[in-house]
Chain A
Amino acid sequence: MRVLVIEDEQNLRDQLAQKLRESGYVVDTAEDGETGLYYAREYPVDVAIVDIGLPKLSGVDLIKTLRTEGHTYPVLILTARSRWQEKVEGLEAGADDYMVKPFHVEELLARLRALVRRAAGVADSVVRCGEIEMDTHSQAVSVFGKELDLTAYEYRLLQYLMLNTGKVISKSELTEHIYEEDAERDSNVIEVFIGRLRRKLDPENEIQPIETLRGRGYRFNIPFS
């Protein structure tokens, strides 16, 4: 999952980015509203964290612009002023949730997970597709009730595929959503990961969750249950 953090306070931005990376997100950061808007338009963002009091372009205006341009990914606003006026303005502009500074990072992470799931149409913190169960909170995955041992990258890959179940996802899209900007982008790596994931999920080749569409990408084939 790729998260965009737009926050002008450098310490907070760095802390957030570090925490988010530790939790398995691909993180982009911007320090003002204009840069933030540029990234928000150009990057394949899954969820954005936007501070309301940004230099150059306010968070509220940024969100309004994004929404009128048709970007629908969830946005969580951070606000220092805990007055309701501001919260309501942010939510009316198109944000999906808010957090008042200061906040516990753990709570922010939980809210982000909920936003990502909600965007995919899942309300529960456990995502179920047939016999595959993914607990987005503990990041545990089990098949037929048996827990799997996945690496961080495998988990990210599976989460992205599962939350986009039924959709065809190209290799480059997968790369963008699970890799940092400067990481190596070799599409063979994706193929390797997909192969490992298939073996771990479906060693007996019974359920065949991930389908390969030649030249187009991959598709997770089990709908939410």
Chain B
Amino acid sequence: MQISLRKRLFLSAIVVLICFLGVTGLALDRAYQDSVTTSHREALIGYLYAFLAASDVDENGLLNVANNLLERRFSLPGSGLYASVIVSDDSRQIWASPSLLGVELPSIPMLNTGVMSFSQQFNSKQEGFFVLNFGVAWQLNNDFIRYVFTIAEDLDRYQNEISTYRKTLWFWLGALAILLLVVQGLVVQWGLRPLRKVADEIRAIEGGEKDSLSGVYPKELSHLTNNINDLIRNERNHLIRYRNTLGDLAHSLKTPLAVLQGYFEQTNTDSDAKETASAQLWRMQEIVDYQLQRAAVSGKQTFNKPVEILPVADQIINALDKVYIAKQIATQTDIDAELKFYGEKGDLMEVLGNIFDNAYKWAKSRIEISIRANEQTDKRRPAIQITVEDDGPGIDREKINRITQRGVRGDEREGPPGQGIGLSVVQDIVESYSGELSFSETALGGCKVSIHFPAY
């Protein structure tokens, strides 16, 4: 089973969207993280300078910080913004902001004077911080004391900002994806509409409502539809040509044969040679007949118009009523008026004509004909069941076997001459439609011919 075009287009659209929007989202996310990190760094540097400005070291080497000059958050415990100062030489903390109460900062590296480092770090409890360290040297009594000033900020704010941003970002990207998929769906719908139209038209042709694909199609499809139209036309013309040629051939062959036959019948000498010649002549005529009819059988075709069965059956019954008027046969019919034969009208006529004619020929006074759809099917073309019963003498077993032998051509089915070829032709036509022909006995006393054309 091939994946449908619609599914293919839809799946490829989804893949493209996922790749494109995914990469876009990731890039935007990354860029935003970078910019937020940078802004936090800038902020920390600002705090650092303010802190440096507010700090002073007295003669004893103690650090005095003018608290009132500092950002208020340094004074609030747990505010998330922290400051500390350590002496470089022995890592001794000489000052810590009140906010640092109960908070452990990641370990602080020793830095040379004037060196600034900024990074995201974690303490032993795996709490994350932005940490800005700055190496400072303070001159005291001709001596330099080196300190490391640290400003730290926990990641809560940063993470809030990022997650808010991510929510917004992915919401809008999702919305965009849905919008694009809807648009894509509409485009596919629109783009595939001509194909659907072709399918509808072909269905209409199969249903006999149309002769050809008549719609206007886009350039890419018009080649295809033109070809289909040619195919349909060719199929029909071919059949007509074929049949006309065969008809002419039949006509031109049969009249001379009839003359020959007449000649043999006129010759009064009653010799074996005449008998043999006459019998062979009949055999020849039957073979010609049979082959011509067989060749004219069209069989199941794709683009056939369906034929309404009832009018054809009525036509044949009326004709036969006329021919067999002297027999005064009561024909009872039960034919579904809606039923259609999806095949060639000529084939249907041959089948019905031959089996009805047989019934009329053998019946004493009654014939029952039934043509109905087999109901237990959901196929577009229902199965057709044809039965013809008569009250005649019934059909010869041997003949039935001969006729219904599968795969044996009518002219090869051995039998006495003069048996006629009608039922052989019927058998061939029925087979060409994958149908089945069978004979059985009937309550009427004669023969019951059943034909079953399968649904398809």
Contact = CB atoms under 8 A, between A and B. Distances in A.
Interface of A: 9, 11-12, 15-16, 18-19, 53, 80-85, 87-88, 91-92, 96-98, 101-106, 114, 118, 123
B259 A91 contact: no
B5 interface: no
Interface string B409-448: 0000000000000000000000000000000000000000
Interface in B244-258: 247, 250-251, 254-258
A87 B251 CA distance: 14
A83 B87 CA distance: 120
A11 B258 CA distance: 9
A37 B89 CA distance: 140
A18 B285 CA distance: 23
B318 interface: yes
B257 A53 contact: no
Interface string B217-259: 0000000000000000000000000000001001100111111
A166 B420 CA distance: 42
B307 to A, nearest CB: 12
Contacts of B251: 53, 80-81
A118 B265 CA distance: 27
B293 A88 contact: no
Contacts of B315: 88, 92
Which of A98, A101, A118 has its CB near the most chain B CB atoms (within 10 A)? A101
B250 A81 contact: yes
B20 interface: no
B1 interface: no
Given A12-B262, A118-B325, A88 B316 contact: yes
Nearest to B250: A81
Contacts of A15: 259, 262-263, 266
Interface string B79-116: 00000000000000000000000000000000000000
A102 B285 contact: yes
A36 to B, nearest CB: 17
B326 interface: yes
Contacts of B181: none
B353 interface: yes
Contacts of B319: 87-88, 91-92
Given A12-B262, A118-B326, 6 more contacts: A81-B251, A84-B354, A88-B349, A101-B254, A104-B261, A118-B325
Nearest to B322: A91
Contacts of A82: 250, 289, 293
B350 interface: yes
Contacts of A118: 325-326
A123 B325 CA distance: 9
Given A87-B319, A118-B326, A9 B255 contact: yes
Contacts of B255: 9, 11-12, 80, 101
A102 B261 contact: yes
A97 B354 CA distance: 16
B259 A12 contact: yes
Contacts of B373: none
B258 A84 contact: no
B323 interface: yes
19 contacts: A16-B262, A80-B250, A80-B251, A80-B254, A82-B289, A82-B293, A83-B296, A83-B346, A83-B350, A85-B346, A88-B319, A91-B322, A91-B323, A92-B315, A92-B319, A96-B322, A96-B323, A97-B323, A106-B265
Category for how many chain B residues contact A: 35 or more
A88 to B, nearest CB: 5
B353 A84 contact: yes
Contact of A98 (B266, B316, B323): B323
Contact of B349 (A53, A85, A102, A106): A85
Given A83-B296, A87-B319, A123-B326, A102 B254 contact: yes
A102 B354 contact: no
A101 B323 contact: no
Contact of A105 (B265, B296, B316): B265
- Residue picked from A88, A101, A102, A123, most chain B C-beta under 10 Å: A102
A92 B323 CA distance: 11
A81 B349 CA distance: 14
A210 to B, nearest CB: 28
Most buried by A among B254, B256, B257, B349: B254
Nearest to B284: A102
B240 to A, nearest CB: 13
A98 B357 CA distance: 12
Nearest to B261: A102
B318 to A, nearest CB: 7
A12 B258 contact: yes
Interface string B334-353: 00000000000110011011
Contacts of B289: 82
A84 B262 contact: no
Interface in B261-317: 261-263, 265-266, 282, 285, 289, 293, 296, 315-316
Of A15, A84, A87, A96, the most chain B CB neighbours within 10 A belong to A84
Task: Point out which of A18, A85, A103, A106 has the most chain B C-beta atoms below 10 A from its C-beta.
Answer: A85
B353 A87 contact: yes
A21 to B, nearest CB: 13
Contacts of A80: 250-251, 254-255
A192 B74 CA distance: 159
Interface centre among A9, A96, A98 (most CB of B within 10 A): A9
Nearest to A91: B319
A183 B263 CA distance: 27
Contacts of B259: 9, 11-12, 15
Contacts of B261: 102, 104
